[in-house]
Structure 1
Amino acid sequence: MEDILRPIYQERASQANTLGVLMVEKKQKSSHTTDSFDDILLIIVKKAEKPLLIKHYTYQDKKAAMHIIVEDLLKEWILLGSNRKIFEWIDDARILFDRNEYVVNLKKELREFPFYGRKIKMGMEFAKLIRRYVDGKALFENHLYLDAYNYVVHSLHHLARLAIIENGLHPELTVWHQVKQIEPEIFKLYEELVNSEETLEKRLELLFLASEFMIHSRTKIGSTHLLDILSEKEFWSFNEIMNEKELIPYSVDMAVLLEYLIDKHLVEVVNVETKGAGIFHRCYRVNKK
């Protein structure tokens, strides 16, 4: 199989721009990991005209896909978790070419999952969790139970991912399989939401109560990254927060997260005078009391 695909990747492996070539093979008859392809060729390059180029091939009675990805996009995927398959691909892949042990070191880094990287990812998951929880609760209070149910499922998913990261692991595609081993109480919440014979209203009511405790217990670790950044200045305008490079990944969830942290007395509001009488800029700082 590798011999057949060699001409496709060999030319790229010889280029100085190429950092590594990996092959992911389908392990089962039906595999979600490889998007139903028999083989995935993953080629990591320093630079390219396009950050991602994908080509599909047919050989014998099989099919293969080649993904050429620039290093910056790969790092973004790893940081943001926006392409969860990439973790499994890199972990499971066979190394066909490796310039200066780039791929070996990348695999090692993913397995060790440095704490700094975990802090950022936990912050992002916590922000998404708070957003889904707050929006879901508002829908519930307006008796929009089906919409609330959808938000609660998403909030539990982010809670599960947060717990997995907290335990030093990367969330995979099979998050619920992972969390069942690590945090069975979160898995039980999910099961009760999906399988309970109670009315939907009652299921949601009970779940909001249980989730509130679990979220509260993870507030400190989930907000550590954001609070560390905010501690670097006396106070911040919202625009400054949104444009801070390390906080950009929080994006649309930031406003809701800040309000939640104000409610929990971890962040406080600072009113800064404007030219208009009685109108103030609403700024934010870490509550150090």
Structure 2
Amino acid sequence: MEKGKMGPVLLLDPLVKDQDISGIVIVDKDIVEAWSKKFVDWYIHIILVHTEFPEEAVASQWLDDVEGRPILVSRLSEQELLEVSDLEHHDVKRLIPLGKIELDRKGHIESVKSIMLGRTPLHEQVVLSRFANFVEAYVHGRRYLEKGHVWDAYTSVLTALKEWACLTVVEHGEHDQVGLWEQVKHLSPGVFKLYEELATSNETVLQRVELVLLACEFSITTKLNSCAAPLLRILRESKQGVSLEQLYEREELQIIRKQLPMLMEKLTRSHYVIKTTEPSSDPHYPEALYSIYHWNEERKAVHG
């Protein structure tokens, strides 16, 4: 954390004109103290959202205004902002509903504020985010194992189990605590047992990894319908099919943007969707094809 001296009163104009900054929120000391019933060390808290976090920037910086009052400047990347699983615990993001939005080029801040104020289904969004992280770690573990990298697969399945544990906690309407595994031991003994087996079993590392991957695969298949509900809803309502690029544009899917290709592949393999290809309309790649995903109306009848 850096501290500096700010001579003139901080002006928003230079920040607003900076195209690398997509959002600005100003939070007042009095509002926060009235809400939290706790004292804070700053007079004004300025939250800056960057399209990408600058390498030279620091996450937090202390400045003084002309009257010597402390100003805290915090920086987030858009990716950090859109991660909803930590909204209630993140020291900066939890203040967003209390602040005044001075700039929101892409609407991301208003979306997060709406979630935190309960105007959108926060629980469903958090579940989707946790589920995507779970699937991603599982897929990495599977791919490592297929290439014969057993210890890398072990690391990935350990991550998958942690994400599964966090997902379990969210599904029970709770927040993950410092003692996560003690919490999960009571909520889902089966998940805890897998963690225990992976860490302490007398089986070979390969056998332990294979066991956990098998359990993860079954859990993911079972949970797809409920945990991926926002994505499935979009696919079900897209009568003409939808491309990956169109899914990228959906506001409610921004939190799983980087996992979308992987999730769509999983949905295709699980017969939730049928993938077709169409010629590209891009003049630079006239011979290229792009994928269109269609909701499989027959799945329920065929797969139950």
TM-score (normalised: structure 2): 0.62
Secondary structure, aligned partner of 2:228:
helix
The answer for unaligned runs of 5 or more in structure 1 is 1-15, 26-38, 57-65, 91-97, 100-108
| Aligned-partner Cα distance in 2 for 1:264–1:43 | 53
CA 50–136 in structure 1, closer or farther in 2 if over 3 Å, else same: closer
Q: What is the letter of the counterpart of residue 84 of structure 2?
A: L
- The equivalent of 2:90 in structure 1 is 86
* Partner of residue 302, structure 2: none
**Higher helix proportion, which one?**
1
The corresponding residue for 1:284 is: 293
* 1:230 alignment counterpart: 235
CA contact (8 A) 1:84 1:173 kept: no
Q: What is the 5 A alignment of 1:54-65? A: none
Q: Which residue of 1 aligns with 2:138?
A: 133
Question: How far does residue 190 in structure 1 lie from its aligned partner after superposition?
Answer: 0.6
Contact kept, 8 Å, 2:49 with 2:81, in 1: the verdict is no
Amino acid across the alignment from 1:266: Y
Identity of aligned residues (%): 24
**Equivalent residue letter for 1:199:** T
RMSD: 4.3
Alignment partners' CA distance in 2, 1:172 and 1:42? 28
CA gap of 1:150–1:83, structure 2 versus 1, over 3 A, is: farther
Report the counterpart of residue 33 of structure 1 in structure 2: none
Could you list the runs of 5+ residues in structure 2 that have no partner in the other structure?
1-25, 51-58, 64-70, 100-114, 299-304
Which residue identity is paired with 1:168? G
Partner of residue 209 from structure 2, selected from 182, 191, 204: 204
Kindly provide the CA deviation profile for residues 153-191 of structure 1, in whole angstroms up to 9, marking residues without a partner as x.
Answer: 111111111111111123334322321221111111111
Code of the aligned partner of 1:264: S
* Shift, 1:266, TM fit: 1.1
CA distance in 2, matches of 1:85, 1:282: 38
1:257 matched residue in structure 2:
263
Q: Does 1:175 align with 2:180?
A: yes
Question: Aligned partners of 1:260 and 1:250: how far apart in 2?
Answer: 14
Q: Distance in 1 between matches of 2:149 and 2:205?
A: 11
Please report how far the alpha carbon of residue 231 of structure 1 lies from its aligned counterpart in structure 2 after TM superposition.
3.1
C-alpha change, 1:267 and 1:205, in structure 2 (3 Å) is same
* TM-score normalised to structure 1 length: 0.65
2:224 maps to what in 1? 219
Shift of 1:44: 8.6
Q: CA deviation at 1:259?
A: 0.4
CA deviation after TM superposition for structure 1 residue 67, in Å: 6.6
| Structure 1 counterpart of 2:193 | 188
Q: Which amino acid aligns with 2:145?
A: F
- Indicate how the Cα distance of structure 1 residues 252 and 263 shifts in structure 2: closer, same or farther if over 3 A, else same: same
Give the alignment of 1:143-158 within 5 angstroms.
Answer: 143-158=148-163
Structure 2 residue corresponding to 1:20, chosen from 32, 42, 58: 32
